Amino acid sequence: MGVTNAIEWPTLIMLVLCYLLWITGTTFLSEISLFLGIVITGIAVALHSSLTHEVIHGHPFRSRKLNEFLVFPGLSLFIPFMRFRDTHLAHHLDADLTDPYDDPESNYLDPTVWNALPRWLRLILNFNNTLLGRLIIGATVSQAMFVASDWRNRNRAVLHGWLWHIPAVALVVVWLTSVSAMPFWAYIIAAYIGLSLIKIRTFLEHQAHERASGRTAIIEDRGLLSLLFLNNNLHAVHHAHPNIAWYELPAVYAKRRDKFLRQNDGYAFRSYGAVFKQFLFNRKDPVPHPFWR
């Protein structure tokens, strides 16, 4: 399984639709209603993030450079593509999933580190472990941790990634100042909305579990959020077959559903509605890693 065609048209079509949505949101929709423009642009930013994830895994073309060119504009403003690429690929080492040190996307902390944090910071991180908290402050918390990690581990690759982010964001700034009807402050809100929407997907993607295969979730949603996330809610399928294109994931899951649910120890939810009902105000799990030794 994996890439079988030279061009994956569903992904390419989604890229075109994403940029059309973004252009529409930042131009005439913002002239009609700035609120509507912000919302639509935020959705486009979230979709662009999902498409960037597809590019990292080798879609829609076989050429890595061509794929990366397609998502070069820094629509989210805050996350350098090359840093996202490198940390996400490191995250796909399943043996390290949820590791506070070796998984770059882990939300868990070493219990020793957690115990040394001031009370106000622990309150923030506990709130961040509710879905409401993840929607409101999740993008800020993850960005702060991301930047702090890059600063601690700064090297040539990290510097290279941030330097290339400058022209990527410059494209967006030029558009906003010369073509767009949306003020820059409004675009920052839209970008934050886009990042917050992605937090719905990442909120339950992984849990602490003794077995690596039990750490990755399945959310059997087939609605608009599933489309926005390009079926990455079937996250255990993606981790088992990271080179499969987004539009192939539902069929793979349907064919081997029992096997995936057995492998991940039933870490599954019927829909995002069920996720909101259970975790909007409740913590999904503790911040200190429960199995850390």
Q: Which amino acid is at 73?
A: P
- 46 CB-near residues (< 8 Å, 6+ apart): 193, 194, 195, 197, 198, 228
Q: pLDDT truncated to tens, each residue of the chain (293 aa)?
A: 444 457 999 999 999 999 999 999 999 999 999 999 999 999 999 999 999 999 999 999 999 999 999 999 999 999 999 999 999 999 999 999 999 999 999 999 999 999 999 999 999 999 999 999 999 999 999 999 999 999 998 999 999 999 999 999 999 999 999 999 999 999 999 999 999 999 999 999 999 999 999 999 999 999 999 999 999 999 999 999 999 999 999 999 999 999 999 999 999 999 999 999 999 999 999 999 999 87
- Coil/strand/helix, residue 71: coil
CA distance 190 to 182: 10
CA distance 175 to 144: 27
Vertex 113 angle, CA 281 and 153, to 5°: 105
Backbone phi, psi, residue 108, to 5°: -90, 155
Read off the pTM.
Answer: 0.95
